[in-house]
């Protein structure tokens, strides 16, 4: 069967096999996952734990190691609880790393000299006062930076706004609504559109998002296209990831990253199993954009492990 597996998926399987008679390593339990590649290492962040965010590192995507300190501690940030959906980006203007995240249902950003952290907020306050979650950065080819996030405007609705030059706040006058849950597959449980990621290829903008309540086994991934980073967004009619044939349930809230060879992958979470939502488990799949369509190759899905 191995000839049907991608090289990364095969590496992940082999890395997870026990070689000394011990039980295999545990799967990486992170919800709302994000992977960032820098200087030969992959870094994984996500919702999980308490009091901030852990960070894991890997050289091969198959086996991960918990870093010795938190990427972000609540002592260095806004908020005391509900630390959700971290994403990390390097600012090309100053070389520093920015961690966008939610705490107590407010969007925040912290800064570090390393993708491992520790990230800190010099001024411990949200980027704006309104409640919001699930922030994701997109930098257009002209250098303009946009933040996509969820506002609670008639359910969980994805909006975007231009960022200030220092990436610390939004320009509120540029707020634009992007995606709300309206299609039948998006409304199996609650009115939720969340977990945005924006890409651009050949002049077309792609907004990947998740819909349904995360506790639903029908939680899934869809996408929409537009000619502008602000929309108007035209949805693909069907989800591109939802209850794949390998038995995973509650698949969604992921992000796109490139490996060291430049190949694109989608990292996402699923429910722990058929009966339990948490702890949610991280998975990786190949993703492609061709002829204006996004495809997640569900046959390539693999589950990384944490080194014991």
The residues, ordered by sequence, that sit 6+ positions from 98 with a Cβ below 8 Å of its Cβ are: 88, 89, 90, 91, 109, 110, 111, 137, 167
pLDDT recorded at residue 50: 79
CB 185 within 8 A of CB 220: yes
Unique residue bearing structure tokens 């994000």: 34
Residue 276's DSSP bridge partners are: none
SS3 150: strand
Q: Are the beta carbons of 35 and 43 closer than 8 angstroms? A: yes
pTM score of the predicted model: 0.92
pLDDT the model gives residue 36: 98
Burial class (CB in 10 A: 0-12, 13-18, 19+), 172: exposed
Q: How many degrees, rounded to 5, is the angle at CA 186 between CA 182 and CA 192? A: 85
Q: 106-112 and 97-103: which strand pairing?
A: antiparallel
Which regions of the chain are under pLDDT 50? 1-21
- The average confidence (pLDDT) of the chain is 93
User: Under DSSP, is residue 174 helix (H, G, I), strand (E, B) or coil?
Assistant: helix
d(CA 297, CA 308): 29
C-alpha span between 152 and 110 (Å, rounded):
23
**Strand positions, DSSP E, 140-226:** 145-152, 156-162, 176-179, 193-201, 204-211, 220-226
Tokens of 27: 């799967």
């Amino acid at each position: 069967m191995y000839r049907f597996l991608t090289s990364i998926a095969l590496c992940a399987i082999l890395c997870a096999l026990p070689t000394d008679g011990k039980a295999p390593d545990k799967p990486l339990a992170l919800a709302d996952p994000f992977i960032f590649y820098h200087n030969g290492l992959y870094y994984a962040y996500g919702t999980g734990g308490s009091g901030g965010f852990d960070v894991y590192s890997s050289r091969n995507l198959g086996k991960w190691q918990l870093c010795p300190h938190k990427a972000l501690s609540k002592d260095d940030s806004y908020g005391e609880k509900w630390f959700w959906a971290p994403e990390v980006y390097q600012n090309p203007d100053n070389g520093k790393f920015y961690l966008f995240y939610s705490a107590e249902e407010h969007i925040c950003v912290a800064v570090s000299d390393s993708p491992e952290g520790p990230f800190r907020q010099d001024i411990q306050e949200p980027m704006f006062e309104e409640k919001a979650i699930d922030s994701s950065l997109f930098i257009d080819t002209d250098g303009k930076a946009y933040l996509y996030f969820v506002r609670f405007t008639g359910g969980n609705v994805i909006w975007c706004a231009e960022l200030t030059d220092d990436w610390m706040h939004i320009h509120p006058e540029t707020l634009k609504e992007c995606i709300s849950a309206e299609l039948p597959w998006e409304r199996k449980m609650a009115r939720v559109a969340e977990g945005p990621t924006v890409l651009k290829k050949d002049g077309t903008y792609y907004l990947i998002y998740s819909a349904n309540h995360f506790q639903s086994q029908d939680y899934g991934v869809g996408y929409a296209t537009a000619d502008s980073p602000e929309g108007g967004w035209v949805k693909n009619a069907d989800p591109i990831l939802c209850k794949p044939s390998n038995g995973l349930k509650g698949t969604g809230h992921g992000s796109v990253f490139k490996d060291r060879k430049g190949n694109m992958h989608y990292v996402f979470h699923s429910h722990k199993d058929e009966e339990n939502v948490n702890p949610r488990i991280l998975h990786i799949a190949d993703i492609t954009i061709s002829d204006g369509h996004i495809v997640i190759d569900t046959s390539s899905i693999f589950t990384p492990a944490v080194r014991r």
